[in-house]
Amino acid sequence: MKVKKYVSFAVMLVIIPAVVIGGALIFRERQSAWISLAVAALSCVPVVILYEKKETDARELVLIAAMTALSVVGRVLFAPLPGFKPVTAFVVITAMYFGGEAGFLTGALTALISNFTFGQGPWTPFQMAVWGLTGLLAGVLSSPLRRSRALLLIYGALSGVAFSLIMDIWTVLWADGYLNFPRYAAAVLSSLPFTAVYAVSNVAFLLLLARPIGKILDRVKTKYGIGAAGKK
């Protein structure tokens, strides 16, 4: 089991970021669709490894798929409000109850699927990676996040800031082909309003959704004997 965990984390922390950054530097916008598909396929690898030969696979995977669908629908429904989206909340909640691998998959697929509405492009792999890593870290911190609402809300706010900072890296790489620090600083400053809105929206949606959805997931898991992915 430890070997599987190491492989899963290597895929999420090393291989996927390398594919995203390497794709941005080498191919720029020309092969963004293929890079997105590669990230989507790699995002499934940790889940497949983790859920191999488990009796409750089907039920748990259905719940993860439902959370992903809610995340996608939530992003689309809040399209008129730029930056104010429930994606991080659904990704974090999924990770808290099903583990970091499930959180990563939910975040990555949310970006890929919802961008069929918002528009696919070279930014999609970065969004997939950032929301995926948000879910992965939430899974690692699942116990303290579930115990402390204050810590959960802080995590949501910091996730919003991190999302904006990393997406600004994509902006600079796309424009210059390398990390131009003066341009990056300018991008960060110009995106401060978006960053603030997204951080606040994360806090608001986690405050609104974490407890009621968490109670539902706990009841379903208890009823069907489903264990958290991160604990298997």
CATH classification at residue 59: 1.10.1760.20
pLDDT at 177: 76
Is residue 65 within 8 Å of residue 154, measured between CB atoms? no
How many Cα atoms are found within 13 Å in the side-chain-facing hemisphere of 40?
Answer: 12
What is the model's pLDDT at position 5?
Answer: 82
Tell me how far apart the alpha carbons of residues 100 and 114 are, in angstroms, rounded to a whole number. Answer: 21
- Spatial CA neighbour of 40 closest among 120, 117, 98, 99: 120
Whether residue 135 contacts residue 107, with contact meaning beta carbons closer than 8 Å, is answered with yes
Tell me which residues of the chain have a pLDDT lower than 50.
55-56, 228-232
Joined together, the tokens standing for residue 225 give 């004997």
Contacting residues for 21 by C-beta, under 8 A, at least 6 apart: 173
Compute the CA torsion angle 144, 149, 152, 158 (nearest 10 deg): -130
pTM (2 d.p.): 0.90
Say what the pLDDT of residue 59 is: 82
Give the number of other Cβ atoms within 10 Å of residue 29's Cβ.
13
Which H/E stretch holds residue 171? helix 149-176
Contact 87, 131 (CB under 8 A): yes
Tell me the two tokens of residue 106: 């939910």
pLDDT at 204: 98
- How many other C-beta atoms are found inside a 10 Å radius of the C-beta of residue 55? 9
Q: What is the pLDDT of residue 198?
A: 96
Looking at the structure of the chain, the number of domains it has is: 1
Domain that holds residue 157: 2-231
Phi, then psi, of 226 in degrees rounded to 5:
-95, 125
